[in-house]
Structure 1
Amino acid sequence: MSTLDALPTLGATARVMLADEVYSVLQQAVLDGTLPPSARVNAGELARRFGVSPTPVREALARLESDGLVEKHPLKGYRTTDLLDPAQLGELFELRLLLEPGTAGHAATRRSDTDVRALQDEVARARGAIDEPDAYALLSQHDVRLHDLVFRSARNATAHTAYNRTHCHLHTYRLSYTGTYVPDTVDEHARIVEAIAEGDAKKAERAMRTHVERSRSRLLLKFDR
């Protein structure tokens, strides 16, 4: 049985949406382990399985390569990348600690009322998702949105771009996928948002630093186990 046999098939959709749909299915398959690390990913086989031309598959694989989820090997095609090891995870979180606490502090002094409402609504949405059957996927998406909103509130496009290029959330989601989510993360997000809403830069910076450090500790436990 091929690894690709575990993938779903796609229904008929408009051509304009095809590449996005293929990308979404493949990305989720890599993140949740349906396509495990170092799995061979053949573009031709994917095109046949999804009933599409090779073009949208190649476009999707190029995006996944940019995400750091697949690698292209000359004459061999694509393979999924390995999971982060402890050293790589440490480096990633060192970068986050350089970027995110200061960004949260800037967000507290630069945010608009619209930003505050968006942040508060995001935390409220996350609290409502904690007991859902697919809580892990929903709350991982919340995590991406929450951090993105903090960067947008800080009004620093350069820092935001640098952060996005790490694809941090994709790699940590893939590393920690278990089907469950730690509610403590939502509480930590709520404290960050509270500080930003209050306009307290030092409090926001401390809250973000604490959150990033605790996130790192939670992930490192995976290696200890």
Structure 2
Amino acid sequence: MPPHDRSAGSAGEPNGKPQGSPPARQVLSDSVYEDIKARVMDHEIAPGARVGIEALSRTLGVSPTPVREALARLEADGLVVKRSLSGYRATELLTRQGLEELFEMRLLLEPRATALAATNATEEQLDAIERIVEEMRAHPGPTGRYADYRDFAALDQRFHDAIAQASHRPLLADAVERLHSHLHVFRLTNVEVTEDPTLAEHERVVRAILRRKADRAAEAMAEHLTHSLERQLSHETNS
């Protein structure tokens, strides 16, 4: 057997790089996406403001390509919109009516998805939903700048999406995911929240799903969404 060539990297690590690690280009693309996303969420890029590719490229010290890729992803998220001749602009904040309509849609979709998840979820899906709630306990809720609660916001969306996926109704799950409700709602959060009950409400939803109580699961999700809307409207009143 020929001697092992260490210059080629260890087994499973071609060229000395761990197998499965993302390529540098993807890491850069993700970093630029998160940076611009934070600027939109924190209103450093004001709602309705033009988002200039060249200006962002200079500010971030990158070529225009990852900026264009990031803006395409943010357009899919509903955080920017592309218009002919004027390029990208940050989307406007939800109005009170827009917020109420968003939650009207959620209340139509998510309690039903949660009831179906209580009936149809596999053991693996139940474990995954429980893990998300456990992870949320380690992260602060929506206070301060987006960077401070980014992980909480991502886990919040994962929680709702995972339940919708566990309904085993692909069209329903897709509709829930496409609302991107967490981004629009957290983008409105501009007050300090001393005690956020979101996690406790999530735990009540999970307990009902784990017990396969479809009616109770739907009720718990409806209660969570109703209280979430009330909190947002209260923030709006107090801001």
TM-score w.r.t. the length of structure 1 is 0.86
Among residues 147, 150, 155, which one is paired with 1:137 in the alignment?
150
Post-superposition shift, 1:179? 5.7
Post-superposition shift, 1:54? 1.6
Looking at secondary structure, tell me which structure has more helix per residue: 1
CA–CA separation in structure 2 for the residues paired with 1:126 and 1:163: 20
Post-superposition shift, 1:180? 4.2
Post-superposition shift, 1:196? 0.3
Post-superposition shift, 1:38? 2.0
Taking the TM superposition and a 5 Å limit, the aligned residue runs for 1:21-170 are 21-130=31-140, 136-170=149-183
Post-superposition shift, 1:47? 1.5
Post-superposition shift, 1:210? 0.3
Query: Unmatched 5+ residue regions in structure 2?
Result: 1-22
1:194 corresponds to which residue?
207
Which has more radius of gyration? 2
The structure showing larger relative contact order (alpha-carbon pairs under 8 Å, at least 6 residues apart) is 1
After superposition, give the CA deviation of every residue in 1:116-174 in whole Å (9 maximum; x if it has no partner): 22222222222233499976333222211111111121111111111122111110010
Secondary structure class of the residue paired with 2:188: helix
Secondary structure class of the residue paired with 1:183: coil
Asked whether the equivalents of residues 136 and 181 of structure 1 are also in contact (C-alpha less than 8 Å), the reply is no
Q: Percent identity?
A: 40
CA–CA separation in structure 2 for the residues paired with 1:62 and 1:75: 16
CA–CA separation in structure 1 for the residues paired with 2:157 and 2:65: 29
Q: 1:157 to 1:121 in 2, by over 3 A?
A: same
CA–CA separation in structure 2 for the residues paired with 1:128 and 1:60: 28
Query: Unmatched 5+ residue regions in structure 1?
Result: 1-12
What's the Cα RMSD here?
A: 2.2
Amino acid at match of 2:34: S
Among residues 176, 179, 204, which one is paired with 2:217 in the alignment?
204
Amino acid at match of 1:195: A
Post-superposition shift, 1:69? 1.2
2:13 corresponds to which residue?
none
Q: Tell me whether 205-214 or 160-169 shows the greater mean CA deviation.
A: 160-169
CA–CA separation in structure 1 for the residues paired with 2:32 and 2:41: 14
Taking the TM superposition and a 5 Å limit, the aligned residue runs for 1:2-17 are 14-17=24-27
Aligned pair count reads 213
Asked whether the equivalents of residues 137 and 179 of structure 1 are also in contact (C-alpha less than 8 Å), the reply is no
TM-score w.r.t. the length of structure 2 is 0.81
